[in-house]
Amino acid sequence: MHAVSIPLRDTWPRSSRPASRVRSIAVLTLALGAVLLRPVPAVAASRPTSDTLTVVTINLWHDQHDWPKRLAVILAELRRLKPDVVLLQEVLQHATLRNQAETLGDSLGFGVQFASVDGPERTKRYGNAILTPHRVLMGEQRNLAPTDDYRAVAHVRFAWRGREVDAYATHLHHTKEGGAIRATQIRHLLAYVDSTRGRGPVVVGGDFNCELGTPEMNLVTAQWRDAFRAVHPDATREEAATYNPVFGADVGVIDHVFVEAAPKRKVTPVSCDVIFRTIAADSVWASDHFGVVARLVYR
């Protein structure tokens, strides 16, 4: 099965400016050296069952730090986890690089929905994507306000065990002082979810570039439950961290999978783990982010 690119519907002007973070060569050099992370306790990942919806989110870090080797690491873990839906951020394509989501989709036999503020006529495109092995019922995108921050959300509705599941993947503004920008993006994101979701379960995830408890993230948690905190309410910040400290001065819990909060809850997290925490045998990290895998059951 080849990756299926679903026609996109854009409702905001496009731009060719990506919003990636710049990593310095010095930091990457340190990352390749003898840098060891202090072991972090982790709850053993549960195996999927017939009634478990498995969701993965991972920031791909575009084509940094030997993408072909990182691709092999990511593929191996996704094949082990057998996800029902994968939410991707920092997906890149350009003249000499095939769209990274399509490469993953073809390798896994998953359908692909790519969302970018860069129009399909452009050679270089940067954005988010959703992958799923299930039958796709619809797929679209929305560019988020403010439009000059060049952020988008991907949306896919797919068939899962006789139900329709809506999945949304996004990547928000990255600066610490940009809380007001993220708040605008979150309001637009939540309004988009409310206006496009079906009647079945909904998952929203991605790289929010922000931790729980901030004013902007309180807008999310007023309606949605963070899967990791629902399962591990007493986990330390280090245990929950999703930004790899090898590539930055501070750990961060910035990648999230959200499900609806009571009383509207449709799916319940039964396990949630941080993945890609360890360096591969050939000294390559999967990304500058760790990923998150959440197992959800329908209630």
Domains of the chain, by residue range, sit at: 25-35+47-298
Q: Which of 272, 257, 252, 173 is nearest to 216 (CA)?
A: 173
Calpha distance 134→165 (Å, rounded): 10
For residue 213, the 8-state DSSP code is: T
Q: Which of 38, 39, 9, 20 is nearest to 207 (CA)?
A: 20
Calpha distance 151→127 (Å, rounded): 8
10 Å CB burial of residue 122 (0-12, 13-18, 19+) is: middle
**How much is the pLDDT for 186?**
98
Chain-centre distance for alpha carbon 128:
8
CATH classification of 25-35+47-298 is 3.60.10.10, yes or no? Answer: yes
User: pLDDT truncated to tens, each residue of the chain (299 aa)?
Assistant: 444 444 433 333 333 344 444 344 333 333 333 333 344 444 444 445 558 999 999 999 999 999 999 999 999 999 999 999 999 999 999 999 999 999 999 999 999 999 999 999 999 999 999 999 999 999 999 999 999 999 999 999 999 999 999 999 999 999 999 999 999 999 999 999 999 999 999 999 999 999 999 999 999 999 999 999 999 999 999 999 999 888 876 768 999 999 998 766 678 999 999 999 999 888 899 999 999 999 999 87
**How much is the pLDDT for 248?**
77
3-state secondary structure of 14: coil
**How much is the pLDDT for 120?**
92
Calpha distance 189→242 (Å, rounded): 22
**How much is the pLDDT for 291?**
97
Calpha distance 159→136 (Å, rounded): 7
Query: Which two tokens mark 299?
Result: 């209630």
Q: What is the DSSP string of 143-208?
A: EESSGGG-EEEEEEEEEETTEEEEEEEEE----TT-HHHHHHHHHHHHHHHHHH--SS-EEEEEE-
CA distances from residue 136 to 105, 127, 163, 280 in whole angstroms, order as listed: 13, 20, 12, 33
Q: Which residue has the tokens 């990457």?
A: 28
Residues 6+ apart with CB under 8 A from 24: none
**How much is the pLDDT for 49?**
52
Sequence length of the chain is 299
**How much is the pLDDT for 299?**
72
Which residue(s) pair with 234 in the sheet? none
Chain-centre distance for alpha carbon 216:
18
